[in-house]
Chains A and B, each alone.
Chain A
Amino acid sequence: MVRALEKYIRPGVKVTPFCPGCGHGILMNAILRAIDELKLDMKKLLFVSGIGCAAWIPSPHFNGDTLHTLHGRALAFATGAKLFNPDLRVMVISGDGDLSSIGGNHLIHAARRNIDLKVICANNMIYGMTGGQVASTTPKGSRTSTTGEGNPYRPFDLCKLVGAAGATYVARYSVTQPLALIHAVKKSLLHVGFSFIEVLSPCPTQFGRRNRLDRPEDLIRDLVRRCILEEEAKGLTEEELAERIITGEFSP
């Protein structure tokens, strides 16, 4: 199976640049499996990314057209390419900081226009590449290199944000839920309109070590424990819910 996916990897690319324990490799795998299961032609796929660790998922690894853009602007570049060339399937893969902080305005406007872009937001809840600074998605209280006493602010609920802005397919999964994730990516690839999948991806290097989740498996276990489905959330008290991350599809 793994060898079967090799054809989607650009010749000449040998190793991934991700840290040990990073979830982005699993996400990369899930995206390629979704493409493989749908038998899509890589030549008709355009992968657009911004700046950050997650932006390196498609560029240079994916053997289709890739556009590695500026910090925060992936959606704007993708909008131009898609509008002029509607035959392209355009997928935007980038991080939480890139898409929701510096690129937050482009995110809500692309969702409002319901333009046919498949957005995959790899959310590691921190700025990984620049050394672990607080992000707009860092949980309240978490320590980062710029919030030594714990993050004083609330994080964005990206799915609610993008759903409210008008996205027509919205889902959230963790890399610890790979089968559901592949299924969601397939749905997004077939969806016509703006789709958004928030993918929780552990960052042991920058997030884990500052938050007593030093080893990669600690973060994975933490995600497994915290990620629940909407149905499972129903019986829980508010206190129990506070820590949980609701996963699933949130399409209107």
Chain B
Amino acid sequence: MSSRWTKGLFPKGVYYLSGNEASAEGAIAAGCRFYAGYPITPSSELMERMSFRLGQIGGVFIQMEDEIASVSAVIGASWGGAKAMTATSGPGFSLMQESIGYAAFTETPCVIVDVQRAGPCTGQATRVGSGDVMQAKWGSQGDYQVIALAPWSVQEMYELTIQAFNLSERYRVPAMVMADEAVGHLRENISIGARVSICNRKKQKGGTPFGTAEKDGVPPMPCFGEGARLLVTGSTHDSFGFRKTDDPEAHAKLVERINGKILKNRSRIVETEGYFMEDSEIAVIAYGFTARTSLYAVKRLRKEGVKVGLLRLRTLWPFPEESVVELKERVKKVVVPEMNQGQIAGEVRKFYPGEMISLRQTDGEIIRPEKISKVLTSTG
């Protein structure tokens, strides 16, 4: 990724922050200067922190009338030249979906932090869940791609928020930080460095904003007021932005490109981490807070000599299929613990033909390490 290092706005040091607060700091470090949001548990602290932090540094904060308006204002601001974001939880995330589709189709960089709670519907607002991970990918109509990251610590709430901004600007795509209540409300020490790696959107005078001959499929992006006389529309459009509402070729070309620019660059986007994977016979595949309790279980079992490992998905979308395919040769079995009814297990199933156990838990609680250990030992 072409990026540059800049001096962070938060003095270097070790801080005791909540995940939501750390995400706000990550956004500011990444260059976010516009926030529009609507209160919702368990994400509200993020918005509260942005309200005063953006005030301090001359950014724009607005509390909108609902989540639809929030993400719409974010898209408007992004075309106005801002690095812009919003944060929400399940019910608000549902309301945002149409505009997320708009952002994907008009290739608008924006960041959405979803601090997931126990759904469906209003569910349990203060309890944890991972029920939105499929919605992140498939929430709006039609075929499009997004980038979604899954932090497992307060440190990563900071880092992956920066990463989400960088990827969003680099690929002109909505990027999501799929946090959960546990990591959003968790407080722990994080260390903030003096410098941050930043990626800004590509500009090119006279370039076509919705089509490109370049291999990466990402066109340059002018913004309002620069004299580009932009034509931005959520209808099918050609490379200049002219509406093409009944041209089959234009539609196919655009849909293929907005999908292709993410999928073809998957190897540059996707990040996973392996723990004790060298000689593992069983692999746990986990993400978000569940990866944390999984690692605890794995470490315990390792002490007892059980050959288990953890594959942690830092990226959920595009799905890290290469990392999963690779497991076929290496392990006898995979276990996928999730705070939902097996949403990512379904994806794993697509790419891992062997034995898979989907450990599902939807009681609004984190999945305890003992429960994961039990599954690992009783089957291994």
Q: Which residues of B contact A83 (CB under 8 A)?
A: 34, 60, 62, 73, 77
Q: Given A68-B232, A84-B33, A84-B34, verify A79-B64 contact (CB < 8 Å).
A: yes
Do B72 and A60 touch (CB < 8 A)? no
A166 CA / B53 CA spacing, docked (Å):
29
Does residue A213 face the partner (Cβ distance < 8 Å to B)? no
Which residue of chain B has the shortest Cβ distance to A48 in the bound complex?
Answer: B76
Count of chain B residues near A, Cβ 8 A? 41
Do A77 and B65 touch (CB < 8 A)? no
A87 CA / B226 CA spacing, docked (Å):
11
Which of B68, B84, B228, B234 contacts A80, CB < 8 Å?
Answer: B84
Which of B60, B62, B72, B78 contacts A69, CB < 8 Å?
Answer: B72
Which of B65, B82, B229, B233 contacts A109, CB < 8 Å?
Answer: B65
The smallest C-beta distance from B115 to any residue of chain A, in angstroms, reads 22
Q: Which residues of A contact B66 (CB under 8 A)?
A: 105
Do B225 and A44 touch (CB < 8 A)? yes
Q: Which residues of A contact B242 (CB under 8 A)?
A: 12, 60
Do A85 and B80 touch (CB < 8 A)? yes
Query: Hey, what's the 0/1 contact readout for B62-89 against A, CB within 8 Å counting as 1?
Result: 1011101110111111111110100000
Q: Which residues of B contact A59 (CB under 8 A)?
A: 231, 233, 243
Which residue of chain A has the shortest Cβ distance to B69 in the bound complex?
Answer: A76
Q: Which residues of B contact A82 (CB under 8 A)?
A: 76, 80
A64 CA / B70 CA spacing, docked (Å):
25
Looking at B75, B84, B243, the one whose CB has the most chain A CB atoms below 10 A away is B75
In residues 88-108 of chain B, which contact A (Cβ within 8 Å)? 98-99, 102
Q: Which residues of B contact A63 (CB under 8 A)?
A: 229
Looking at A10, A46, A85, A87, the one whose CB has the most chain B CB atoms below 10 A away is A85
Looking at A10, A46, A64, A65, the one whose CB has the most chain B CB atoms below 10 A away is A65
Do A65 and B224 touch (CB < 8 A)? yes
In residues 206-256 of chain B, which contact A (Cβ within 8 Å)? 223-225, 227-235, 241-243
Query: Hey, what's the 0/1 contact readout for A64-100 against B, CB within 8 Å counting as 1?
Result: 1111111001011111111111011000000000000
Do B76 and A68 touch (CB < 8 A)? no
Which of B34, B65, B224 contacts A106, CB < 8 Å?
Answer: B65
Which residue of chain B has the shortest Cβ distance to A106 in the bound complex?
Answer: B69
Do B73 and A43 touch (CB < 8 A)? no
Does residue B125 face the partner (Cβ distance < 8 Å to A)? no
The smallest C-beta distance from A54 to any residue of chain B, in angstroms, reads 15
Does residue B27 face the partner (Cβ distance < 8 Å to A)? no
Does residue A42 face the partner (Cβ distance < 8 Å to B)? yes
The smallest C-beta distance from A11 to any residue of chain B, in angstroms, reads 9
Does residue B173 face the partner (Cβ distance < 8 Å to A)? no
Do B225 and A70 touch (CB < 8 A)? no
A166 CA / B231 CA spacing, docked (Å):
31
In residues 107-136 of chain A, which contact B (Cβ within 8 Å)? 109
A85 CA / B34 CA spacing, docked (Å):
11
Which of B69, B230, B234 contacts A65, CB < 8 Å?
Answer: B230
Which of A68, A79, A88, A109 contacts B224, CB < 8 Å?
Answer: A88
Do B72 and A76 touch (CB < 8 A)? yes
Does residue B36 face the partner (Cβ distance < 8 Å to A)? yes
The smallest C-beta distance from A40 to any residue of chain B, in angstroms, reads 13
Which residue of chain A has the shortest Cβ distance to B70 in the bound complex?
Answer: A76
Looking at B69, B75, B227, B242, the one whose CB has the most chain A CB atoms below 10 A away is B69
Q: Which residues of A contact B75 (CB under 8 A)?
A: 69, 77, 80
Query: Hey, what's the 0/1 contact readout for B9-44 against A, CB within 8 Å counting as 1?
Result: 000000000000000000000000110100000000
Q: Which residues of A contact B64 (CB under 8 A)?
A: 76, 79, 109
A19 CA / B36 CA spacing, docked (Å):
38
The smallest C-beta distance from B310 to any residue of chain A, in angstroms, reads 40
Do A10 and B231 touch (CB < 8 A)? yes
Chosen A-B contacts, 12 in total, with CB atoms closer than 8 Å, are: A42-B229, A73-B72, A76-B64, A76-B69, A78-B76, A80-B62, A80-B77, A81-B80, A84-B60, A84-B76, A85-B225, A106-B65
Given A68-B235, A68-B243, A109-B69; 18 other pairs, CB 8 A cutoff: A10-B231, A12-B242, A42-B229, A44-B225, A48-B76, A60-B241, A60-B243, A63-B229, A67-B79, A70-B98, A76-B64, A78-B76, A80-B78, A83-B60, A83-B73, A84-B34, A84-B77, A109-B65
Which positions in B face A, CB cutoff 8 Å? 33-34, 36, 60, 62, 64-66, 68-70, 72-82, 84, 98-99, 102, 223-225, 227-235, 241-243
Nearest 8 pairs of A and B residues by beta carbon: A80-B76, A80-B73, A76-B72, A80-B77, A77-B76, A76-B69, A68-B233, A81-B76
